[in-house]
């Protein structure tokens, strides 16, 4: 694996996951379904963590690499502990559509799964998995792409589309502080009717939308300010692909030029 910095045309090659950690992956739900993503690592701007995660039949496993220690470590939790004795009884992933807010990653339930009223949470500071209840609006939403963002009080918020797929109404729900897992409806807003695959949080109160449908808006990728509800097209491309934002700072180690990218020395 390598961590790429496309803005500065650099990458850093990671050491392989140790054999003893790899051997702990037993009966993955789908052999071709795993997630690899970046996570913050302390206060240093140039440090980072890489998390490789897979859902197995009996447990959830994550391998975490820290650029500070240059080591991999394992974090796992059994489905028995997470879901009150309910084991994964199907060969489909239980949680999808990862979002990040306030130091935690959140996954919504796979709508093919019978227990749709659970959200998976990974606390990146404690490196612990837990299960929380999503707001009732999310359970009835017509969209599986429900973005999360941070409020001014440092609490996670969620933008939920209405139950009708053609709805222009969105509900903003805020998670209460402390140990409470309750959500509070904050307000209802109206956005232009745009066909999108998934909403994703960008910096601060901005979201990125992929628009491919037919309407008064040109096709492309848009940024919307959730406070002012103003839209701005940031990319005219309509090619299907993933939209990324909030790149980490450039790697600080010396680089030697090699073709289109730079290779860490």
The 10s digit of each residue's pLDDT in 12-67 is 899 999 999 999 998 888 766 789 998 877 666 678 899 999 988 888 999 999 98
Comparing 51-60, 166-175, 183-192, 213-222, the range with the smallest average pLDDT is 213-222
Query: Tokens for 215?
Result: 């309407």
Mean pLDDT, range 136-159, rounded to an integer: 74
Query: Tokens for 57?
Result: 């039949």
The rounded distance, in Å, linking the Cα atoms of 175 and 157 is: 6
The rounded distance, in Å, linking the Cα atoms of 100 and 39 is: 9
More confident residue, 197 or 177: 177
Q: Which of 113, 121, 25 is nearest to 72 (CA)?
A: 25
Comparing 56-60, 76-80, 150-154, 245-249, the range with the smallest average pLDDT is 245-249
| pLDDT score of 198 more than 60 | no
Question: DSSP state, 8?
Answer: T
The 10s digit of each residue's pLDDT in 155-179 is 888 888 777 666 677 788 888 765 4
Mean pLDDT, range 182-193, rounded to an integer: 79
The rounded distance, in Å, linking the Cα atoms of 261 and 85 is: 48
Provide, for the chain, the percentages of residues in helix, strand and coil under a 3-state DSSP scheme, each rounded to the nearest 5: 5, 40, 55
264 touches 253 (CB < 8 A):
yes
Q: Which residue has the tokens 């680089």?
A: 255
144 touches 69 (CB < 8 A):
no
What whole-number percentage of the chain has pLDDT above 90? 17
* Whole-number pLDDT of residue 65: 96
Length of the chain: 265
Instruction: Give residue 138's pLDDT band: very low, low, confident or very high (50, 70, 90).
Output: confident
What is the residue-averaged pLDDT of the chain? 75
256 touches 263 (CB < 8 A):
yes
The rounded distance, in Å, linking the Cα atoms of 142 and 165 is: 5
CB atoms within 10 A of CB 49: 19
């Amino acid at each position: 694996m390598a961590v790429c910095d496309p803005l500065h045309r650099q990458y850093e090659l990671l050491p392989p996951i140790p054999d003893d950690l790899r051997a702990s992956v037993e009966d993955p739900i789908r052999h071709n379904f795993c997630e690899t993503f970046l996570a913050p690592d302390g206060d240093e701007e140039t440090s980072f963590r890489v998390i490789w995660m897979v859902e197995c039949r009996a447990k959830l496993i994550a391998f975490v690499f820290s650029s500070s220690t240059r080591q991999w470590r394992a974090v796992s939790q059994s489905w028995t502990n997470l879901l009150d004795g309910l084991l994964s009884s199907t060969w489909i992933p239980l949680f999808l559509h990862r979002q990040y807010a306030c130091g935690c990653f959140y996954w919504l339930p796979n709508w093919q799964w019978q227990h749709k009223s659970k959200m998976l949470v990974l606390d990146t500071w404690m490196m612990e998995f837990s299960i929380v209840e999503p707001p009732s609006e999310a359970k009835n939403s017509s969209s599986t792409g429900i973005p999360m963002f941070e409020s001014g009080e440092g609490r996670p918020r969620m933008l939920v589309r209405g139950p009708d797929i053609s709805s222009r109404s969105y509900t903003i729900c805020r998670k209460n502080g402390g140990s409470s897992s309750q959500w509070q409806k904050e307000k209802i807003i109206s956005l232009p009717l745009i066909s999108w695959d998934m909403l994703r949080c960008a910096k601060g109160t901005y979201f990125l939308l992929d628009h491919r449908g037919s309407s008064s808006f040109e096709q492309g990728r848009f940024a919307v300010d959730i406070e002012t509800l103003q839209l701005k097209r940031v990319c005219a491309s309509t090619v299907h692909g993933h939209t990324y934002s909030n790149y980490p700072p450039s790697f600080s180690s010396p680089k030697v030029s090699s073709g289109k990218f730079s290779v860490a020395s």
